Structure formats: C-alpha cells, structure tokens
Structure 1
Amino acid sequence: MSNLVIVESPVKANTIKGYLGTNYKVVASKGHIRDLPKSTLGIDIENDFEPKYINIRGKAELINELKKEAKNATKVFLATDPDREGEAISWHLATALGLDEKKAHRVYFNEITKNAVREAIQHPSSINPDLVDAQQARRLIDRIVGYKISPLLWQKIKNGLSAGRVQSVATKLVVERENEIKNFVSEESWTIDANFKGNAGKKFRLRFFGNKKGKIELLSKEDADKILSALEGADAVVSSLKKGTKKRTPAPPFTTSQLQQEANRKLSFQSKKTMSVAQELYEGVSLGKGGEHGLITYMRTDSVRVSQDAANAAEKFILENFGEKYYPKTRRVYKTKSNAQDAHEAIRPSDVTLTPELAKPYLTNDQYKLYRLIWCRFVASQMEAALYDTMAVEVTTTGDKGEYLFKGKGETRKFDGFMTLYTVSSDEEDKEDEENVIFPKLEEGEKLTVLDVTPKQNFSQPPLRYTEATLIKVLEEKGIGRPSTYTPTITTILSRGYIERQGKFFCPTELGFVTTEIMDKYFGTIVDYRFTAGLEESLDSVAEGKLEYKKVLHDFYDRFLPLLSKAESEAERVEVKGNVEELDILCEKCGAKMVVKKGRFGKFAACPNYPQCKNTKQLDNLGNIVEKKPDVVVEGMTCPECHGKVLLKKGRYGEFYACENYPKCKFTKQISKEAGVACPKCHGKVIMKRAGRKVFYGCDNYPECDFSSWYMPTGEKCPHCEEGYMVKKKADSDPVCSNKNCPTNKKVK
C-alpha cells in the first residue's frame, strides 16, 4: 500500500510528485470540498452558531475518488497551504473522508522544494483546531453580515448588492477620501527661491526660510512682496554649513501587502494579478530538465522573518557576487509588526542562486517580472546600507530691512550598497517637496552674490484618490483584513459597482456613496475602523488558542442584531441615480443629447443611441469637446503602395503618416523624433521609435547600422570597458554602461 498526499491544486501536486518516491501518490482537492450552502444562511444561530456544511456542488465524484484512495493508503498526508484557509481545507478533507487522527497527518512547508517537502513528510503533525476555529469564525461572521444585510440593501437600494464586513469598510475609505477631495478648500501660499554664487563661480539655489526667530509663512502676495522688498540690495553670506554622512538602509523582504503595493507601483500589476502570478511561482514552474520547482516561499504572509538557512545562502551569494563591502558587518534581522502572524517567513526566493536571468528562459514575462522583484528585494534586504555625503547650508541676507535666512539641503551618494540592486518606490502623496541641491565648494563665512530672486504662488492640493497600492496600505495600517483578504475585497467592491477605476485611481460610484451612507447610518459599529481592526485581533487570539471562537461569534451577534432590527424597521428606499452624465451637446447625426462614457484611455462623449448611432467625440481633461482637426495632406509625399496622397494623422501614440485611401490601402509610417545624440556605433542620428506601447532608440542609418536600445543613450562609449555605451535608464538618473559584463555594472544578471 502506498501513502496518499492531498494538496489543493493540480500544479502543486505535479511539482510535489517529482520530490517523493513511488510509495507516494499525490492528488489535488482543487480547493475547498465543503462549504456553507449558497441558498440559505447555513448557520443554526439558536444552536450555538452551529455551521451546516455541505459538499460543494460538482465535487461529489472527486470526494468519492479521494475516499477510495484514502481507504487504500497506509497514511494520508494533508499538505494544504500553511495558513488558516489551508488548515480549514485539511479539516474538511479529514471530516469528509472519514479520516481518524492515526491515519491523517498534517504537513507544513513554506516553500515547495525537495528538501522542504521531504522534511515535512518526515515530521508530520496533526490538524491545528485553533487555526480551523479562527477560519470558521471569520467565515461565519462574514456569512452573517452578508446574508443579513444584503437583502436589506436589495429592498432599499437595488437587487444584486452585497454587504461585507471588510468590503463595506474598504468602500467607506474610498467614499470618505472622495468627500475630503470635494470639501477641500485650497489655501494660498508663496515660496521664494534665490540663486546665489560664491567663490567657486557656480550658482546654487536655496529657499527662503524666515529669520533667526523661526520660519515665516508667506500666505499672500503682500507677504511675499514684503520679503522681496527687504532683499533688494541685501548682502549675503554663508552663515552655517554642516557636513555629514547619512545611511540609507534596505527595506525588509516582502510581506503580502508590501508585494502587492510594490508590484502595483513598479509593474502596474493589480493585486489580483500579483497574487495569481505569485501563486504560480510558489506552486512550481518547469525548469526544463531540472523538473518542476517552486521558486518562492508562501505568498500570503505578514511576517518579515527570514530563516537561518535563507540568510546564510544570501550572505554567501552577496560575498561571492558583490564582495565583502556589500555585506554588513552585522547580519540584518527584521522585526515583524506586533499584530502580524509570524508563523511564516517573508516572501523570498526558495533558491537565491537561481537569479532572475537564469530563470528567465523558463518563465512567462509576468512571472519573470514578479520573480525579479521578489529576488532583488530579498537579496537587497541582506546587503549593506547605501552611504551619502550630506550638506545643509544656511545663507543669511542682510539689508536695510533686516536679516533673513535661506536654507537648502543636498546629498551625494558615495557608496551604493543595496541600491546597486534595488530601490523602494514611493506613492505620489508620500514624496517630499524639498529639493536635493547640488552645492559647489563653499566655506562658512563666505560672501555670496545674489543672482536672482524668484517668488512663486502655490495652492494647497487635496489628497489624492486611492490607488490600489495606497488602499492596501491604509487597510493594513488600520488593521482591516489580513494578507489573504486584500485582493478579494478590492475585486468584490469593483465588481459590485461600489467603486470604479479612473486611470490608476479608485473613485466611488453613486451606488458606493448611497450604500456607504446606509451602512454608516444603521451599521456604524460594523463599519467602524477600530471595531473591524479589533475583530481581526480577536480572530488572531482564536488562532493562538487564547480565545474561544464561539464567544467571538456571540459577542459580535449581540452587537449586530439590534442594529439589523432598527435598519429593517427604519431604513427608507433610496433611488440611485445612474452614473451617466449628460452633456449640453446634441449629436449632429441623430439629435440626441450626448453622454459621457469611459474607455480604455479615459472619458469621451458618445451618442446614447449606440449601436444605431456610433458618433463619438474626444474630451479634454476639463470635460470639454476637443474639435477634431482635419487631416493635413503631406506635400511632396505619395503612398508607396497605391500612389495616393499621404495624410498627417494623430493616433493614440502621437502623429503618423497614413494613406488617404484607407481602409482600401493600409499604408502607415511612424514619424521618428530625433533624440539629439549621435549613434555610439556609427555616429549617425539616434531617433526615437515605437514598438507597441514602448519607446526605443535606434539609428537612422538602419539597416546598415543595427544599434538599438530600450534606454536613452548619451552618445558616449563606456570609458571603463570601451565595449558598451552609456545609457540613462531614467531622465534624472546617472548614466550606466549597456554592457552587462562591464565591471561598473554591478547588477547580477
């Protein structure tokens, strides 16, 4: 008789098969096999909240097959995911298959590698009832909220709506941010910048601060003019010059929420896509003759802990590939937040020696991008800090109307450290306004020339709408939900129409406003941020065996039932206005009032009688109609395919040439823009070209010269290796060599 190993997914099963011998049969349950019924509440509230689980429709044949396999097996290993949901699946499997404690063995592994799987099989344990209870408590509370409040929303607003303990709170966040923006009153302020020049002859810019007593706020033009008047003919001197050094330490390896946020910022991945691709990397991909391998650790975690073996492997890799100065004298140990579940490690590569470039031939483009992000973040987290020289300069101006201070700070990186591999991105609302100033050589007491003084009027800006990254960030900060809930929560409130995407930002719909108003009015406690976070802490206590899960259910229901009764008796029907915005513009083709629609590239005006009338018009950022300019005939140019006239047209990616006889003749030609530098290969002109949505740089002597680059070339050869050429990966970044093997290119490939 052989042993049976049960996992959730066929992909995971296929990977594990290669690690175990012929004495083990690995099968997949394909997720949950039992759940609460869809048609009824499925909870006997009067009988101490007893759940009524049933087999999921369509799983009967699978359950029978699993029963046969389990009956014939010597041992049954339940190898579902190492979290509460995975524990619940194992418990349901053991119950449905009639497994006793002697036959059922629970195994845990944080990464799907040969060593991890075999180690887990050799040291099995039993199902953890506390984790099962924590999952049950969440499931039952969410079912009560959904099944009790949703019918109320159907009666009072419209059919098909749903309420959820976490989804309603997430919607509320988006609605409250929108109200903040609508109610925001902009305040005027002024800044004054001055350019100075010292003995070195190079100018530098500082910002007006105030005087020795402190900062002076310039709230009007009159305030600014007063200072400008005082600066006329004033002398300037360097009154303070402080030099120092600053360390910038790496961020810890990824938790689930941090991975979702960073993938959204750096890769433009939505959280649903991030978790789907991460699941593929965790469960295993084929590495050719190397077989199936799980490339990352378990991707649902809020821990930043790293195992000793993983830290040792990272140390060895860094020393061998970067050198001693890139590894810190003291190993980095990151502290997990107090409310986090620390049972798992952070998200990291399961084998640090499998670099992204080595894995790339076996991965899809999305898998490669995410694996590279995870790999670089982990390795960088174990590296030495980046080191900066800093300088803070104060200049005092003295005139007939008093002394005033100008201040500025600058920093220059002198050792890249972990930043040779990875830099953390930031949200727009987190970016500081203070400019990094590059100072010439200065001495304290040095007299300066005031070159010019520039006032600037500013107006305070409302907070930005949430992006997917910033919404996940605030959910985590407020303790709302857990790593496994962020993605389904956002997916649900989008699909239900409570919020919608406008570019990368979330905007509440009229439905979202109305639903939030009702939830706030009648279920304020349930959608209160502190209550929701407190409930999460109670569920954590259940998982730790410190709290009985039935008590959590009773406490919740005792608070919930009076709110529900009041809402059912008092709430009135609310009419939701459609989200269609009419324009005071008539369709010139059929006479109907045009409406605002949303497409892939933003809002546009459309006829409401579509598809009978397909008239559309472009809108600008202010919602005004953009009059379409007539196509211009290009003089002296004829179509090379049909000899018709060539027109200058404007498309999604800018201007291009096209034949007048379209669609009969489909000739088009890109209009290339000069980059303003010489080709590093033949000294021809470098031009900007487009491949799909991406811009690249090529030589105008193509095909005689095959130079091309995704990055902006500077026109110079690399002074170190003389094989590569210098490119800028960002407009404001330092040039780097294009040659991967150049000694200056420290990124591991």
Structure 2
Amino acid sequence: MNLVIVESPTKAKTIGKFLGKDYTVVSCYGHVRDLPKSKLGIDVEHEFEPQYVIPTRTRKTVTALKKEAAKSDTIILATDEDREGEAIAWHLMQALKLSGSDKKIERIVFHEITKSAIESALKSPRKLNDHMVDAQQARRVLDRLVGYKLSPFLWKKVAGGLSAGRVQSVAVRLIVDRETEIKNFKPKEYWTISANIGKQNDKEKDFEAQLFKIGNENLEKFSIENKESADKIVKKLETADYSVNEVEKKESSKNPLPPFITSTLQQEAAKRLRFSSKKTMVIAQQLYENGLITYMRTDSVNLSKESVESAKVWLTENLGEKYAIDTPRAFKAKSKLAQEAHEAIRPTNPGLSPENASVDNADGKKLYELIWQRFTASQMPQAKISSTTVTIEAMPKDKSEKKHFFKATGQAITFDGYLKVWPQKLEEREAPAVEKDEKLDLRSITPNQHMTEPPPRYSEATLIKTLEENGIGRPSTYAPTISTIQTRQYVIKEAGRFKPTEIGELVNKVLTEHFPDIVDIGFTARMEDELDDIAEGESGWQTIIGSFYKPFEKQLEEKYAEVSKDDFVKETTDEVCEKCGKPMAVKLGRFGKFLACTGFPDCKNTKRLEGSGTNKTAPRKTGVKCPTCSEGEIVERRVSRGRARGKIFWGCSRYPECKYASWERPEGVPEPEKNEEKEEPKEEE
C-alpha cells in the first residue's frame, strides 16, 4: 500500500481521484510541528537549534498519520514545491519518525494537480532538498528571534500588546514615510496653455493642441510658473498666424505582459477586482487544489511547451489564425532565484475558457478569468497602433517674437492582437485631418492653472510592487505581511489606501531611532538574498543567523538600559479626574494615547483622548433614511478602537438616540468612496 500525504483535504480529494486502490491520499493540514508559543524555542547558545514541538491542534492528525504510515509500504510526501512545502515534508519525516525506518520514503513535486502531472511526478520521485528546508528554517528562526526579543522591549518601553516583525516593520515604515511625505508636501503652481484650433472655413473638425515649445526650447513642467507669465504668452498668441509645421505618422506595436507570478497576480487582482492580497491567495489556493490552475506561489514566468501549444489550438479554433503566433513567446524572470523548472501561474487546461470552467463561486470565477486572460494574451500577437502627431506653428504678429509650437495627437488601434483577450486602457483619439503647411484658424486659447499633488498613499497593489522592487519578502510573504500590519492595527485602509495609525507611527519611530537595521530596506533585502543563498546551498543557515543575532542581542541589551518609556510619552494635562480629583496624564496603550488618572493604582479611571488613535473623519452622509427610526439619515462611519478598528459600518445620524447599526451596506446606500487610482503601477511594456 502507498500512502500519499498532502497539506489539505481538498488537495487530497482531487489527487485521490487520479490514483487507484493501491494509494491512500491523506491530509496533514499544513505544518505538524512548530516552535513553542510559550517560550523562545531556540537554543541560541548551541547553533540556534530550534526546539520544535507538536502543538495540541496537530496531535490527533499526527496520531492518525502514524497509523496510516504503519499500514503502508511506501510513504510519498507530496507537499507543495516551495520552501514551505519542503519544510512541511521534513517535519512529517521527523514527527512520524520515518528517518531510519524500513519504509520506502519518496518526495514528489508537481506544478499542477492534474492526472498527467501526478502520474509524471510518481515516476520521478526525488530526495528531500535539505537546502530548501534550511532556508525555511532560517526564516522561521530569524523571524522568531526578532519578534520574540523585540516585542517585549516594545511592551516595556512603549505599551503592552505591541509587536515587531522583520518584514512587517519595513512595510509599516514605507507607509509611515509616505504619510510623512504627504504631510510635508507643499504644492507648487505651474501653468499650461491649450488652444482650440480648426481648419479654415470648416468648423466641424476643430481639435485641441498643447503648447510644448517656444523657439528652440521645449517647455518643462515649471517653465510657465504663474498666471502673469501665462497671460503674456496668451496675449501674443491670440493674434498669431497658425499653420501646420509637420505631420508625423508612426506605426508601433504593444507587447502582451508576461503570465502572472505571485506578486503580479496580487497587484492585478487588487486593481481590477478590488481583492486584498490575502483574499487573492485564498481563492488561488482553492483553484489550485481543485486542479484548475498551476501552483500559485512562484516567481517564474516560464510556461510548459504543452500549455503554449494548447493555447495556440484554442486561439486558432476560437478566434482565428491571425490571433495565434507561430513561435511561442518566452519571458525572462526578474528574480535571480526563479527556477526554470517552475512555471508561471496559468490555467492547467488552457482550452478551458472562463465560461466553461467549473468554479464554485463568483470570486473564484473572476480570478480564474483573470489568470486565463493573462496567460492566453501572453501567447497572442502584438497589438498594432497607428499614431499621428501634428506640430502647429504659431507666428506672432511681432516678427521679433519667437515662434511658438503646439502639438496635437491622434491614436488608433489597427489590429487589437492580444487586447482582444486582455483589455487594457488604450485611449483612441481621432487624429486632426490636416496637411503640412496648411493654414489654420485659432478658435480659442486658454491658460490652465495646475498644482503639483502629493504622492498617493500606498494601495495593496503599489505596496506589493514596492516591496518586490526593493527585494523585501518573497512570493509566500506578501499577503501575510499585509494582513499582519492591519491585524496589529499599525495601519488602516482608508478609501482603499493604507494610512498609519498613531500607534503604528510611534512603533516605527521607536524602531527607526533605536533599531534602524530592523526597518532598513537595504538591510532587510540583503537578509532575503542570504536566505536565497541558503536555499541554493551557498551558505550555512546557522552562520547567517549568527551574523545577525550577535550584534542584535548586544544592541537590545544596550537599549534596555538606555531607553525610557518617558522618551515617548510623558505629558501632563490640565484635565482633572472626576472620580478622585487628581490630575490626568497622557498614557500610551496598544490603540494609541489615552488619559489616565495619576492616582493609579488607587484610582483606575481612564478617558479617551480626543483626536488620538486613528485619525478620525466625519461620518459620510448617504442621503438614505434610517430604516429603524425614519427620522435620521444613514451615515458611513469607521470603528475607532478594538480589533475591528478602521472597519467601515453604517449607523444612524441620530445616534445615540437611535441605535441602528449594520456591517452590511444597506440597500440604496452607495459604495464607500475610493481614491482615484491615478498612480497605480503602470503595466510594463
């Protein structure tokens, strides 16, 4: 009998369908061993040896797996193909005491859960990859050392209940730094000049053009600084003679984007579907375990020969030969560690279009469609675009003045190519129907005032992109990191963008001032590279941990002696305790600042400090009458404290007289406002 062990019941069920009666497929429900919760669990004096335990929640599972293993001749470890999966397989070996047993132990990996992939994997088992196990173990130990050692420092010196993490602290720093940029931003004025121009004796085909050049000098953003300068130019050009200086036509091509890797899937799902990174990965996991897509934690853009051939067949049969390409398009991975044997995220059956795929829920259908579209588009022809640029010369009446030049453009898609499957915003504009040297008439000329804008707050998409670009984290860490910093209430989402809370800003201040390496982008990126080196067998994991821990431990010891809680909060107030008459003082808790009686512990009176905690905004009116009292109006509010802090709910404007409240958006109420996505990550060419 052969025992196949995988991580989840769904995965076990899907694989079980492909194997015969000689195989039993069971789930281990993820990691069966972990570091203890009640202590550090790492012997820092002896090579950082982890002291793993079998948690209470997994004991029944381990007992059941041991019974199944005892009945089997061959144990096949079929956990995921990444470092986490390799570590789970290694922990199974230890927990089930398989090393040195008379059982035949095999490790198999596959990129997709299909009959052919499973059969192929069973024919080519391999040994456990110790280097991958070491890399995962190093990450776990490193994160435990930082969290377990630094969090108590924050409890003692700042406030109870706080925590620090190696990658999460860098993510919070990015968000805090961006907020500081926004607060310190000073808008700067600049002007542009646009003209409405038309053909002589034909007012039906007027078009707009922008001033871009005066004499031989191209205008920069701040070339026209104020209204006075703009008005001078306008006055000169109101009576100028206009003619076509040049008509330039150009044909160009636009390439499709690579198929998804983990980070780009999370970014695109956030932009197009408004999914959080956590939601995206949960749904992608379901699609993978049900055999619909390949493995969803990857940084490889490679595609199998069979998949691109299958895509070509579907395109030829459904869209026609002109939408298929003869030579499969290959892409180059950005990550130095992306393995050629791994694949991008794609449908396991490229011929299974979204409308024909059996997906249980609406969100799953949306994500499958996104993955299918991106993959299919990657194997389609370029889009062909025809562009026209018209340069218009304006010659002032005063011939001593310089010529001014305006530009008008037009663009048309001559062949949609991959855009037929992967919709992208590509504005088509009719080109001005004019010829070189043709005389034109000025209809109107307008000076336009602009003000520079602060950088936008991070969305999930832009934060993941920034983390990836800076080498922070890996495919498996983006979603948990973003989820953690919200759960810890260091940041909240406001109109789809991340905003630091007061406590998030304070923790960042403490770490930045006293443990700069922990929140240093370059340092954290180098640590990620060193973890990659461990996975490649180029470095020993204990050596890497030791080089980090020794200076960190010394620094921590110094800071315990050096830093006082009063360094962060020591504010007296004129407020008097209404219970005992003693002065109230500002204290710091895990949700921000609050007022507490100085008579503590005899008097335990506390009060909320107005303006503290999450930056409050006025309730947003909806114009919908309250269904409970019919007098008030439903307003959109945010929870100001507790675990749901920052979450939107709807209540009555007459609160506390009317207690109506709902987590679900009431009928007739518009969706919560979202910021304009004016600086989302641009898709690569």
Is 1:236 paired with 2:236? no
Whole-angstrom distance in 2 between the partners of 1:526 and 1:511: 18
Pairwise mapping of residues 639-650 of structure 1 onto structure 2 (< 5 A)?
A: none
Task: Find the counterpart in structure 1 of residue 438 from structure 2.
Answer: 446
Is 1:219 paired with 2:217? no
* Aligned CA distance change for structure 1 residues 359 and 630 (closer, same or farther; 3 Å): closer
- Letter of the 1:250 counterpart: P
Q: CA deviation at 1:692?
A: 8.6
Q: CA deviation at 1:328?
A: 2.8
SS of aligned partner of 1:463 = coil
* Aligned CA distance change for structure 1 residues 580 and 346 (closer, same or farther; 3 Å): same
Q: CA deviation at 1:594?
A: 12
Task: Find the counterpart in structure 2 of residue 393 from structure 1.
Answer: 390
Task: Find the counterpart in structure 2 of residue 333 from structure 1.
Answer: 330
Task: Find the counterpart in structure 1 of residue 67 from structure 2.
Answer: 68
Q: CA deviation at 1:320?
A: 1.4
- Letter of the 2:246 counterpart: S
Whole-angstrom distance in 2 between the partners of 1:561 and 1:4: 45
CA distances 1:605-630 after superposition (whole Å, capped 9, x unpaired): 5xxxxxxxxxxxx457xxxxx9x999
Task: Find the counterpart in structure 2 of residue 206 from structure 1.
Answer: 209
Is 1:40 paired with 2:39? yes
Is 1:482 paired with 2:477? no
Aligned residues: 595
Q: CA deviation at 1:56?
A: 1.5
| Residues 625, 633 of structure 2: 8 Å contact kept | no
Gaps of 5+ in 2: 570-587, 596-606, 637-666, 672-685
| Residues 356, 375 of structure 1: 8 Å contact kept | yes
Instruction: Give the stretch that moved more between structures: 152-161 or 553-562.
Output: 553-562
Q: CA deviation at 1:325?
A: 1.2
Q: CA deviation at 1:652?
A: 7.8
Task: Find the counterpart in structure 2 of residue 350 from structure 1.
Answer: 348
| Residues 409, 432 of structure 2: 8 Å contact kept | no
CA distances 1:132-154 after superposition (whole Å, capped 9, x unpaired): 00000100000000011000001
| Residues 412, 429 of structure 2: 8 Å contact kept | no
Whole-angstrom distance in 2 between the partners of 1:595 and 1:414: 60
* Aligned CA distance change for structure 1 residues 248 and 508 (closer, same or farther; 3 Å): same
Is 1:524 paired with 2:516? yes
| Residues 265, 425 of structure 1: 8 Å contact kept | no
* Aligned CA distance change for structure 1 residues 692 and 228 (closer, same or farther; 3 Å): closer
CA distances 1:5-58 after superposition (whole Å, capped 9, x unpaired): 000111111111100000000111011010111111111111011111111223
Whole-angstrom distance in 2 between the partners of 1:650 and 1:225: 48
- Letter of the 2:409 counterpart: K
| Residues 4, 75 of structure 1: 8 Å contact kept | yes
| Residues 480, 529 of structure 1: 8 Å contact kept | yes
Task: Find the counterpart in structure 2 of residue 259 from structure 1.
Answer: 265
SS of aligned partner of 2:30 = coil
Task: Find the counterpart in structure 2 of residue 158 from structure 1.
Answer: 159
Q: CA deviation at 1:496?
A: 0.7
Is 1:384 paired with 2:381? yes
Whole-angstrom distance in 2 between the partners of 1:480 and 1:593: 37
Q: CA deviation at 1:563?
A: 2.3
CA distances 1:385-438 after superposition (whole Å, capped 9, x unpaired): 111110112111001133111123321111111111113579xxxxxxxx9753
Is 1:277 paired with 2:283? yes
Whole-angstrom distance in 2 between the partners of 1:98 and 1:454: 80
Task: Find the counterpart in structure 2 of residue 417 from structure 1.
Answer: 417
Task: Find the counterpart in structure 2 of residue 679 from structure 1.
Answer: none
Q: CA deviation at 1:331?
A: 2.0
Pairwise mapping of residues 428-577 of structure 1 onto structure 2 (< 5 A)?
A: 437-573=429-565, 574-575=568-569, 576=588
Whole-angstrom distance in 2 between the partners of 1:119 and 1:402: 74
SS of aligned partner of 1:95 = helix
Task: Find the counterpart in structure 2 of residue 119 from structure 1.
Answer: 120
Whole-angstrom distance in 2 between the partners of 1:123 and 1:389: 51
- Letter of the 2:41 counterpart: G
* Aligned CA distance change for structure 1 residues 567 and 341 (closer, same or farther; 3 Å): farther
* Aligned CA distance change for structure 1 residues 321 and 131 (closer, same or farther; 3 Å): same
Q: CA deviation at 1:523?
A: 1.2
* Aligned CA distance change for structure 1 residues 425 and 44 (closer, same or farther; 3 Å): farther
Q: Could you state the TM-score of these two structures normalised by the residue count of structure 2?
A: 0.82
Task: Find the counterpart in structure 1 of residue 583 from structure 2.
Answer: none
Task: Find the counterpart in structure 2 of residue 643 from structure 1.
Answer: none
| Residues 230, 402 of structure 1: 8 Å contact kept | no
Instruction: Give the stretch that moved more between structures: 557-566 or 441-450.
Output: 557-566
Q: CA deviation at 1:527?
A: 1.5
| Residues 33, 54 of structure 2: 8 Å contact kept | yes
Q: CA deviation at 1:211?
A: 1.7
* Aligned CA distance change for structure 1 residues 213 and 437 (closer, same or farther; 3 Å): farther
| Residues 596, 604 of structure 1: 8 Å contact kept | no
Runs of 4+ in 1 over 4 A off after TM superposition: 577-582, 592-599, 602-605, 628-631, 647-653, 690-694
Whole-angstrom distance in 2 between the partners of 1:493 and 1:47: 33
* Aligned CA distance change for structure 1 residues 350 and 532 (closer, same or farther; 3 Å): same
- Letter of the 1:14 counterpart: K
Task: Find the counterpart in structure 2 of residue 167 from structure 1.
Answer: 168
Whole-angstrom distance in 2 between the partners of 1:108 and 1:477: 29
Task: Find the counterpart in structure 2 of residue 623 from structure 1.
Answer: none
SS of aligned partner of 1:34 = coil
Q: CA deviation at 1:691?
A: 8.7
| Residues 392, 407 of structure 2: 8 Å contact kept | yes
SS of aligned partner of 1:395 = strand
Whole-angstrom distance in 2 between the partners of 1:197 and 1:649: 55
SS of aligned partner of 2:233 = helix
- Letter of the 2:413 counterpart: R
- Letter of the 2:439 counterpart: K
Gaps of 5+ in 1: 285-293, 427-434, 583-591, 606-617, 621-625, 632-646, 654-689, 695-749
Whole-angstrom distance in 1 between the partners of 2:409 and 2:545: 55
Pairwise mapping of residues 95-106 of structure 1 onto structure 2 (< 5 A)?
A: 95-100=94-99, 103-106=104-107
| Residues 76, 106 of structure 2: 8 Å contact kept | yes
Task: Find the counterpart in structure 2 of residue 712 from structure 1.
Answer: none
| Residues 188, 219 of structure 1: 8 Å contact kept | yes
Q: CA deviation at 1:570?
A: 1.5
| Residues 625, 634 of structure 2: 8 Å contact kept | no
Whole-angstrom distance in 1 between the partners of 2:143 and 2:610: 39
| Residues 326, 417 of structure 1: 8 Å contact kept | yes
SS of aligned partner of 1:155 = helix
| Residues 580, 595 of structure 1: 8 Å contact kept | no
| Residues 134, 535 of structure 2: 8 Å contact kept | yes
Task: Find the counterpart in structure 1 of residue 129 from structure 2.
Answer: 128
SS of aligned partner of 1:39 = coil
SS of aligned partner of 2:161 = coil
Q: CA deviation at 1:449?
A: 0.5
SS of aligned partner of 2:18 = coil
* Aligned CA distance change for structure 1 residues 257 and 629 (closer, same or farther; 3 Å): closer
Percent identity between the aligned chains?
Answer: 45
Task: Find the counterpart in structure 2 of residue 24 from structure 1.
Answer: 23
* Aligned CA distance change for structure 1 residues 462 and 329 (closer, same or farther; 3 Å): same
Q: CA deviation at 1:299?
A: 0.5
- Letter of the 1:56 counterpart: P
